[in-house]
């Protein structure tokens, strides 16, 4: 019986030997390249829209004819750089007139002050009436008020003259001049 078992085992082994053994696959075709060492700059491309963090719409505070444009579109400007000049001649004339009125009002106030001081001395000596003294004092106060009003008008005319120069409120790249 042992011989039968050995014969059966040999038959099984010989049956297994009859199968063809698979051969290893051939290497894939292609060329061989040696690695190259170099610096690589990584970058990405994005589709989007850029917008400035600060934007300012510049508007004139006075009306008039545009005299000069002091920048080129798309260039960099610094805060305070001149952008536009509006024709200052009408505003200069208005300032000169208002300043002249102010100087005239100051002179009238000074004259009224002198008369009021003289009237005060004469009133103490009973040379002029109390009514005349009151008139001189009130004329002085009126002249002071007129001088104050003329100063306000002159200050406003000077401010309008300054507004003829339009300066950049922030620094950055300037866009189109929509005038």
What is each CA distance from 53 to 13, 46, 81, 172, in whole angstroms? 84, 19, 20, 10
| Neighbouring C-alpha atoms within 13 Å toward the C-beta of 80 | 0
SS3 of 16-70? HHCCCCCCCCCCCCCCCCCCCCCCCCCCCCCCCCCCCCCCCCCCCCCCCCEEEEC
Residues 6+ apart with CB under 8 A from 21: none
Q: Above 80 in pLDDT, residue 47? A: yes
Q: For residues 163 and 15, give the distance between their C-alpha atoms in angstroms, rounded to a whole number.
A: 110
Rounded to two decimals, the pTM is 0.65
Give pLDDT tens digits for 129-148.
989 999 999 999 999 999 99
* pLDDT computed for residue 43 by the predictor: 83
pLDDT at residue 14, as a whole number: 63
Residue 157 pLDDT greater than 90, yes or no: yes
- Between 127 and 102, residue with greater pLDDT: 102
In tens, the pLDDT along 1-24 reads 667 777 777 666 666 555 566 677
Residue 87: strand, helix, or coil = coil
Q: Write out pLDDT tens, residues 94-125.
A: 999 999 999 999 999 999 999 999 999 898 88
């Amino acid at each position: 019986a042992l011989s039968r078992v050995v014969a059966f085992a040999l038959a099984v082994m010989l049956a297994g030997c009859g199968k063809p053994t698979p051969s290893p696959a051939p290497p894939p075709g292609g060329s061989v390249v040696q690695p190259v060492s170099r610096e690589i700059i990584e970058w990405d491309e994005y589709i989007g829209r850029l917008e400035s963090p600060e934007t300012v719409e510049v508007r004139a505070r006075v009306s008039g004819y545009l005299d000069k444009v002091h920048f080129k579109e798309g260039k960099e400007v610094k805060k305070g750089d001149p952008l536009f000049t509006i024709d200052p001649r009408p505003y200069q004339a208005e300032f000169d007139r208002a300043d002249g009125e102010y100087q005239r009002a100051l002179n009238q106030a000074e004259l009224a002050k002198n008369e009021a001081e003289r009237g005060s001395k004469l009133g103490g000596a009973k040379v002029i009436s109390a009514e005349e003294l009151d008139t001189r004092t009130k004329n002085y106060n009126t002249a002071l008020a007129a001088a104050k009003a003329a100063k306000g008008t002159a200050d406003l005319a000077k401010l309008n003259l300054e507004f003829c120069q339009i300066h950049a409120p922030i620094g950055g790249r300037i866009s189109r001049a929509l005038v």
